[in-house]
Amino acid sequence: MSTNPSEVAGSMDGFWHDDLATADPEIAAAIANELKRQQDKIELIASENIASKAVLEATGSVFTNKYAEGYPGKRYYGGCDYADVVETLAIERAKQLFGCNFADVQPNSGSQMNQAVFLGLLQPGDTFMGLDLNSGGHLTHGSPVNMSGKWFNPVSYGVRQDDERIDMEAVAATAREHKPKLIICGGTAYSRVWDFEAFRAIADEVGAILLCDMSHISGLVAGGAHPSPFPLCDIVTTTTHKSLRGPRSGVILWNDEKFTKPLNMAVFPGLQGGPLMHVVAAKAVAFKEALSPEFKTYAHRVVENARALAASLEENGLRIVSGGTDNHSMLVDLTAKDVTGKAAEAGLDRAWLTCNKNGIPFDTRSPFVTSGVRLGTPAGTTRGFGPTEFRKIGELIAKVVDGLSKNGPEGDAQIEEHVRAEVSDLCANYPVYPHE
């Protein structure tokens, strides 16, 4: 029997490939198809965007190989010199971008950043308040199926039935009654400006910590197109891949040093091990982009485009929840058309318009069916669409919905074919990665 390791294990020749297409043609083909999907269809999912090539390059960098448990200057592994460089840059840029004193850039996701706030500042069973999922809140803000709702005691607030806006009087009354330790503002399907001053007054009155999860609007906050939660909120969390246009990840921000130890310790070693340093590097890149004057223009354009889309949808017979939008997103109520959100999502996808079904306030249908769709403008704005294009998109959406209204879930094949052609023209004029 041979004792030569290379004979025992076989040759290593061909183990390394210079490109993915040779190393793994199936995955390379799926990635190429995904790029084509993003190019050929119009992305209207309000929580998605098109990250820059620089962000993608950092995400795919050699930091994938590196363990860096700990924080800059205090690591549990050797060889962290450059990990420290990227993490320090990410922290400094995040602080500059959002005007705060401290940042933890290690949370791997939106869910983990919020878990860290719960782990660091609450005890199991503690009472907290968040926007009800049915009014546009997020799973991690107290849904009974999420850890926040299972291990803590959530009390929710909602929107008024008549104008579908958050009822601050009711928020105050609920806070007085339940004395929450934490109040969360921010949501995933709420298209109106958040009144941080009113939330601050309520939090002060009942002695609660005020957390803003600004994941949906953080790009708008960065660009000055929505009021900043700082300095009014104690802690601010945000994902980095929505309107902020970075890699898929999360960040925690705060001002008062008393939160530093509990929050840092909750992220590591409380919840996570080695940070995803390639994603931390990409976050630093995204923050630099968001600090640019061009990003300010982008953020304002996102809102202008959302208003144009909402106006066009209304002019074409569709009702927008709360009568319009102040941010990047809107909920379309399909009840009067007798079309479900599920059917609309499928019909619009056949017409190459990508969106998600979404419950509307006081929805009587299940979350798997729903009476609405949620639409957003961050991705379309990144590829260059302006109000003219979004008004056109509003007309196209209304046509598809009318086809569904007349024919049921199969929709009108002729209309959908016509819309696909119009979508193709728009997409051809605005490539997602122009220099690919």
| Active-site hit among 59, 174, 188, 239 | 239
Phi, psi of 401 (to 5 degrees): -65, -40
CB 242 → ligand DSN: shortest distance, Å? Answer: 7
Nearer CB in complex with ligand DSN: 229/376: 376
Among 70, 107, 110, 137, which residue sits at the site for ligand DSN (rule: CB under 6 A)? 110
Binding track over 36-55 against ligand DSN, x by CB under 6 A:
-----------x--------
Cis bond before residue 154 (omega within 30° of 0): no
Residue number with CB closer to ligand DSN (110 or 275):
110
DSSP string, 342-377: HHHHHHHHHTTEE-EEEPPTT--S-TTT-SEEEEE-
* Cis peptide, bond prior to residue 124, ω within 30 of zero: no
Kindly tell me which of 71 and 190 has the beta carbon lying closer to ligand DSN. Answer: 190
* Residue 135 is a binding residue for ligand DSN (CB under 6 A): no
Q: Are the beta carbons of 68 and 79 closer than 8 angstroms?
A: no
| Residue 230 tokens, joined | 């700082």
> Counting runs of H as helices and runs of E as strands, what totals does the chain give?
17, 15
Residues paired with residue 356 on neighbouring β-strands, in sequence order: 374
x-or-dash string of contact with ligand DSN, 358-397, rule CB under 6 A:
----------------------------------------
Q: How many angstroms separate the Cα of 47 from the Cα of each of 245, 328, 374?
A: 10, 9, 10
For the question of residue 82 being annotated catalytic, the response is no
Closest CB to ligand DSN among residues 138, 245: 138
Question: DSSP characters for 155-218?
Answer: EEE-B-TTT-SB-HHHHHHHHHHH--SEEEE--SS--S---HHHHHHHHHHHT-EEEEE-TTTH
Record the tokens describing residue 203, joined without a space: 């939090």
Q: Name the active-site residue from 67, 82, 430, 433.
A: 67
Instruction: Give catalytic status of residue 75 as yes or no.
Output: no
Nearer to ligand DSN, 188 or 218 (CB): 188
**Distance of closest approach, residue 312 Cβ to ligand DSN, in angstroms:** 23
Contact between 188 and ligand DSN by CB under 6 A: the answer reads yes
Write down the least CB distance from residue 374 to ligand DSN, Å. Answer: 8
Least gap, CB of 356 to ligand DSN (angstroms)? 7
Catalytic residue among 242, 245, 374, 383: 242
Dist CA 117 CA 184 (whole Å): 11
Q: Minimum CB separation from ligand DSN for residue 247, in Å?
A: 15
Q: Write b or e for each residue in 363-395: b if 16 or more Cβ atoms lie within 10 A of its Cβ, otherwise e.
A: bebeeeebbbbbbbbbbbbbbebebebbbbbbe
CB 47 → ligand DSN: shortest distance, Å? 3
Quick check: is 377 catalytic? Answer: no
CA distance 303 to 286: 20
- CB crowding 263-291: b at 16 or more within 10 Å, else e: bbebbbeebbebbbbbbbbbbbbbbbbbe
Give the count of residues interacting with ligand DSN (CB under 6 A): 4
Per the annotation, the verdict on 19 as an active-site residue is: no
Q: Which of 160, 248, 296, 391 is catalytic?
A: 248
Smaller CB separation from ligand DSN, 193 or 421:
193
Query: Does the annotation mark 242 as catalytic?
Result: yes
258 an active-site residue?
Answer: no
Which residue number, 89 or 222, has a Cβ lying nearer to ligand DSN? 222
Residue nearest to ligand DSN (CB): 47
Nearest approach, Cβ of 215 to ligand DSN (angstroms)? Answer: 6
Looking at 43, 87, 164, 213, which residue is catalytic? 213
Tell me the HSE value of 82 on the side-chain side, using a 13 A CA sphere: 9
Q: Which is nearer to ligand DSN, 272 or 356 (CB)?
A: 356
Task: Check if the beta carbon of residue 118 is closer than 8 Å to that of residue 271.
Answer: no
Minimum CB–partner distance for residue 110 and ligand DSN (Å): 5
Name the site residues for ligand DSN (rule: CB under 6 A).
Answer: 47, 110, 138, 188
Q: Which residues are part of the catalytic machinery?
A: 67, 69, 213, 239, 242, 248
